[in-house]
Amino acid sequence: MQKKLIAAAVAGLIALPALAQSNVTISGTLKMGWENSKLSGGNVSGHDAESRVSDQSSQVVFNVVEDLGGGLKAWGQIDNRINLDRAAGGGAWASGNSGVGFMHDKWGKFTLGSWDVHYQELAGIEATRAGSLQTLFGHGLMSQVASVSSTVGAAGIQGAFKATGRTEVQGMMGGRARNLMMWDSPNWNGFTARLAYSTNAAGNEGNDNRAAGNPGGGRAWTGALRYNNGPWTAGLSYWNENAESRVVGAGMRAADGRSTRGWVGYTFAMGLKVGLAFDRSSIDNHVLGTASTVGSGTARRTNWMLPVTYTFGPHAIYGKYGHMGSASGSAIASGTGGDYGGHAWMLGYDYAFSKRTSAGVFYTKVNNDCNAACTVGASYDMFAVAGTTGNQGSVTRRGEDARQWYIGMAHSF
């Protein structure tokens, strides 16, 4: 009996290496702070500042990799976005970049899942260590297309549609695309590429085939080419989406979107980094039903930004300027006229206590022309209802300016 027990124990030890080939790691970022935001100008009353503690997309990430031999690996990721300011109201499981697939040293990485594409591409030249999401122009004014509605801003209908919306009605335009099949290339002497296709980027799979219109018509594709080598970074990204066109009620809108953005950045030896980026986007609104408050037609515009970062020791100083080109197209022509442009700027400073922990203060300001309604950052969703929970503020309406003070910290693990 004793010999049998010893033999079983030895067999178990021999089997352990096979089980250990699948590696699981846990990582993440905890990022939040105090903010004070304010809307001003325009013809809308109620411009009192709003102060709150806000989470800035904190996350806990689970990664798994299994070596299959011959350079081939199976991998998976579950990215959980959490709201530290609202303990009971956190994000859904796998609400961030999540997926499963294969990767190989020579032919790259294949993903099935939900992932940030296109709009996230500018983060490399403008990201801060401890700043809020609202300091990122790539998420904000660089992803917003001015349009008009049949109701003036004073009546409560904002005059711009985000190019990074999260639902079918708003139009996806390159946010965290769902239902995604994606290929990322290996690194070719500093060059990397991405190709992705989504059967419906907004997440509506069109399973109601009795709906009027075409409930299975949603699809999107995107491609990017990047260069990162030494002090240089550059790239070009394209997004193309056709929205699902089912009609589930009067007054719904589907928006087809197209967007091209490019960027270049250079880091000097003394710690100074400068960049330049542009974005040319358009939306084509289709009214599905009747009695809609949102007009049909096409709107397009070109925006650009100039980010600068100076890092010395544990200190970092940030400055950024963005210009919003005036919009054009049939949706604009049917509205109240021109003046759909504007500009934005940001100043900030943060201090790195270690490689993982930093804290800082930031000021962001967006100045809109009388018919524009661009706003700060993706979390200030222009389609949000005023007073919603989380770090979504009141809706920015046509002609209003938006600004934010933010004091926050970030810790990665």
CA-to-CA distance for 301 and 352, rounded, in angstroms?
38
The H-assigned helical ranges of 290-356 are 330-333
Over residues 333-338, the mean pLDDT reads 52
CB atoms within 10 A of CB 77: 20
pLDDT at residue number 332: 64
State the residue for tokens 């943060």: 350
SS3 state at 379: coil
pLDDT at residue number 341: 81
What pTM did the predictor assign?
0.83
pLDDT at residue number 216: 67
CA-to-CA distance for 32 and 361, rounded, in angstroms?
12
pLDDT at residue number 243: 76
Over residues 311-320, the mean pLDDT reads 98
CB atoms within 10 A of CB 220: 27
User: Biggest alpha carbon distance in the chain?
Assistant: 92
Nearest to 296 by CA among 258, 253, 260: 253
Nearest to 116 by CA among 54, 168, 185, 184: 184
Judged against a pLDDT cut of 90, whether residue 141 lies above it is answered with no
Judged against a pLDDT cut of 60, whether residue 413 lies above it is answered with yes
Judged against a pLDDT cut of 80, whether residue 357 lies above it is answered with yes
CA-to-CA distance for 140 and 166, rounded, in angstroms?
14
The H-assigned helical ranges of 106-256 are 123-126
Q: How far is CA 96 from CA 31, 62, 114, 241, in A?
A: 15, 11, 8, 21
Judged against a pLDDT cut of 80, whether residue 346 lies above it is answered with yes
State the pLDDT confidence band at 349, using cuts at 50, 70 and 90. very high
State the pLDDT confidence band at 369, using cuts at 50, 70 and 90. confident
332 against 256, higher pLDDT = 256
Q: Are 411 and 356 in contact (CB under 8 A)?
A: yes
State the pLDDT confidence band at 168, using cuts at 50, 70 and 90. very low
The hierarchical CATH code for the domain 33-412 is: 2.40.160.10
Over residues 145-167, the mean pLDDT reads 39
Judged against a pLDDT cut of 80, whether residue 248 lies above it is answered with no
Over residues 74-95, the mean pLDDT reads 82
pLDDT at residue number 62: 97
CA-to-CA distance for 363 and 225, rounded, in angstroms?
32
Mean pLDDT, the chain, integer: 78
User: pLDDT tens for residues 196-223?
Assistant: 999 877 765 555 555 566 666 778 899 9
Q: Give the amino acid at 210.
A: R
CA-to-CA distance for 68 and 72, rounded, in angstroms?
5
State the pLDDT confidence band at 90, using cuts at 50, 70 and 90. low
Judged against a pLDDT cut of 90, whether residue 325 lies above it is answered with no
Phi, psi for residue 109 in degrees, rounded to 5 = -130, 130
Q: Give the amino acid at 166.
A: R
Query: What's the distance, Cα to Cα, between the start and end of the chain in Å?
Result: 48
CA dihedral 381, 383, 389, 395 (to 10 degrees): 80
Over residues 104-119, the mean pLDDT reads 94
Over residues 294-304, the mean pLDDT reads 76
State the pLDDT confidence band at 14, using cuts at 50, 70 and 90. very low
Judged against a pLDDT cut of 50, whether residue 293 lies above it is answered with no
Domain boundaries, the chain: 33-412
Q: Which of 86-100, 168-182, 315-329, 383-397 has the highest mean pLDDT?
A: 315-329
